[in-house]
């Protein structure tokens, strides 16, 4: 999978210590809809990082050799813009018998991702964070993620 970054242990994006996998592509839908420059996005600096190809077996090897991380978090830009790679990585993780939570951060709505949700529902322990970033909106605590999200329209859902 092409990634911008892997953080072997992250404590910010999920209630459990997680391996954070920053994806490479975004269409900046949040900024475009809000009428703000993409430089406002917290993930904009990630675009300056080089893309690195990390095979699924290497992701899983790093996860298993790290005694701290208990989940995977795909985020950074828009993971669903790399759907085929994301899906193949999920298949590999589950095919190898790893049942750890897989959290996918998206700026899309649940309705916009309906087809993808149906495709990954057979795999267990999949959580998706939905909703666009809205500048200057009210933050809200999300019980599923165990963290505070920056916009009131954002929420996570355990889909399987």
Token digits of residue 84: 């085929």
pLDDT of 131 reads 98
pLDDT of 26 reads 96
pLDDT of 103 reads 99
Token digits of residue 72: 């995977």
Interval 63-87 mean pLDDT: 98
pLDDT digits (tens, 9 = 90+) for 109-151: 999 999 999 999 999 999 999 999 999 999 999 999 999 999 9
pLDDT digits (tens, 9 = 90+) for 29-57: 999 999 999 999 999 999 999 999 999 99
Phi, psi values for residue 148, rounded to 5°? -95, 130
List strand residue ranges (DSSP E) for 27-154, in order. 52-53, 71-75, 101-105, 126-130, 140-142, 147-149
- The whole-model pTM stands at 0.97
Contacts with 140 (C-beta within 8 Å, 6 or more apart), sequence order:
148, 149, 151, 152, 154, 155
């Amino acid at each position: 999978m092409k990634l911008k970054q892997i953080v072997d242990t992250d404590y910010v994006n999920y209630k459990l210590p997680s391996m954070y996998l920053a994806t490479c592509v975004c269409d900046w839908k949040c900024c475009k809809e809000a009428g703000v420059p993409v430089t406002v996005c917290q993930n904009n600096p990630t675009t300056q990082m080089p893309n690195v190809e990390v095979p699924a077996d290497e992701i899983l090897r790093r996860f298993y050799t790290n005694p701290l991380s208990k989940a995977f978090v795909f985020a950074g830009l828009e993971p669903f813009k790399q759907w085929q790679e994301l899906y193949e990585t999920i298949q590999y993780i589950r095919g190898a018998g790893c049942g750890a939570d897989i959290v996918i951060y998206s700026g899309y709505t649940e309705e916009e991702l309906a087809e993808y949700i149906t495709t990954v529902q057979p795999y267990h322990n999949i959580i998706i964070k939905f909703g666009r970033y809205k500048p200057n909106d009210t933050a809200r605590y999300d019980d599923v993620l165990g963290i505070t999200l920056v916009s009131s329209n954002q929420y996570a859902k355990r889909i399987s």
